[in-house]
A and B are shown apart, each in its own frame.
Chain A
Amino acid sequence: MYGDLANKLVLEAKRSQQLSNKSKKGNSLPMYHEELVRNILQEVVQLSKNTEYLKEQQQLGNMDSKVWKCQQFVMLLCMERNKRCLLAYQRLRSQMLDSLAWDNNGLDILHDTLGNTQDTTDLSPQEQEYLKEYSELITELKSGALTDIDLTGSLTPPSDVFIDVRVLKDAGEIQTEYGVFNLIKDSQFFVRQSDVERLIQQGYLQKIK
């Protein structure tokens, strides 16, 4: 039947939603189902062709107007259904892209839009474009009236001013806005939390309770 392909797509969307919920990180977007989407679009084209045809037949007077109305209406419903499923799928993906952009991009090093999303091939070209432009929007917001607040920063309220951190990955000398750290693997520091929050988010440091 006409809605079945769209149903498959929605099931796929559900699966990726559950995946991202479970891992809590949501930074792994599954492949874009180009094949399936194309098939659905083909279906829609077919449907619209049918309606065109029926319209002609109606005008020629070959059809009962009641039958014609019913056929038109059902075709329309099928198209609506397909549209709904496509939009739901795309919306879910764009939400995941948004959270990706808020979480990872624009942190400290503002200019690595591509370094963070390793799965650039998993995105459709339009999505890549969208991600890039959305990241730019975020940067714009941050450099506007609200520069004093780091909007992409951590959302857990600050509790300790100073924390112990352990270096997990060798990173050489890293410059923070407040001074230079020499990050050698397995060394420990006692630093102000606000200085190293970025490095913790990027995975260089680990907080020690």
Chain B
Amino acid sequence: MSLPAHLQETFSPEEIQFIVENEPIKIFPRITTRQLARGRVGSVSDKSSSNQWRLITTDANNLNNMVAMQSTEVTLWLALLLKQQNKCSIIAPKWLTIKELDKSIQYEKKYLDRFSSIPWNWLVLCQLLFKRASDDFHDPVHELRSRIQDLREIRQLKVLKGLKHLNNSHLQLDNISILEINELRPFIVGIMDKLREIHSASESNDSSQANEDIDI
């Protein structure tokens, strides 16, 4: 088929990253793109403003109004591009600090039957930021890394425990992140499908038998 088999029922990790890269994130620009009012009145007024860049995928308004060292919000892929060229530094999200992570680890340990509410993209975002913007964190990155690793392991343990309760009708997975869902999807969906098949087959057998009884 046109779509290779390994992509037919789930996302690849690259695609997950692509989805996450469309989220907004705060940055400190190191360049100024805002046109000063004085400059505009000067030589080439309207032309330069209409010649400014326009993005078709995201809102370019913030990009045109960047002032050095004034925080602004852009999409992540743009932030990473700027970061690569050293034109901005990325502000780590609030939950990505040692303090906050410790809190959620505590939560995870306290409530063994639920997941703490960290953002749906935490794993991918951490991986991206640690790799591309490791110098922008206030806390030492290796500590953050180990916290993230801890969180991941705790949550994985819970997932494994939760798999005992697979059934043919439903499953509740609050606060589980997109990457965690994605790696579980083929397994869980496959098993639940089989369970459902067995169940519905036996049910229809029952009903047909009941009908026969009535006939007799």
The chain A residues found within 8 Å of chain B, CB to CB, are: 21, 24, 95, 98-99, 102, 151, 155-157, 159, 161
Contact = CB atoms under 8 A, between A and B. Distances in A.
A141 to B, nearest CB: 9
Contact of A157 (B2, B14, B81): B14
Contact of A159 (B1, B3, B5, B14): B14
Nearest to B14: A156
A77 B81 CA distance: 64
B17 interface: yes
B18 A98 contact: no
B4 to A, nearest CB: 7
B206 interface: no
Interface string B1-16: 1111111000010110
Contacts of B81: 161
Given A157-B17, A159-B17, A95 B7 contact: no
Contacts of A102: 1-2
Contacts, number: 25
Interface of B: 1-7, 12, 14-15, 17-18, 81
Nearest to A98: B1
Nearest to A138: B2
B216 to A, nearest CB: 23
9 contacts: A21-B5, A95-B1, A99-B4, A99-B5, A102-B1, A155-B7, A156-B15, A157-B17, A159-B14
Contacts of B14: 156-157, 159
A159 B22 CA distance: 12
A155 B18 contact: no
Nearest to A157: B18
Given A155-B4, A157-B15, A157-B17, 15 more contacts: A21-B5, A24-B6, A98-B2, A99-B4, A102-B2, A151-B2, A155-B3, A156-B12, A156-B15, A157-B14, A157-B18, A159-B14, A159-B17, A159-B18, A161-B81
A157 to B, nearest CB: 4
A186 to B, nearest CB: 27
Contacts of A24: 6
A161 B81 CA distance: 9
A56 B147 CA distance: 82
A159 B15 CA distance: 10
Contacts of B7: 155
Contacts of A159: 14, 17-18
Contacts of A98: 1-2
A157 B22 CA distance: 12
A2 B120 CA distance: 56
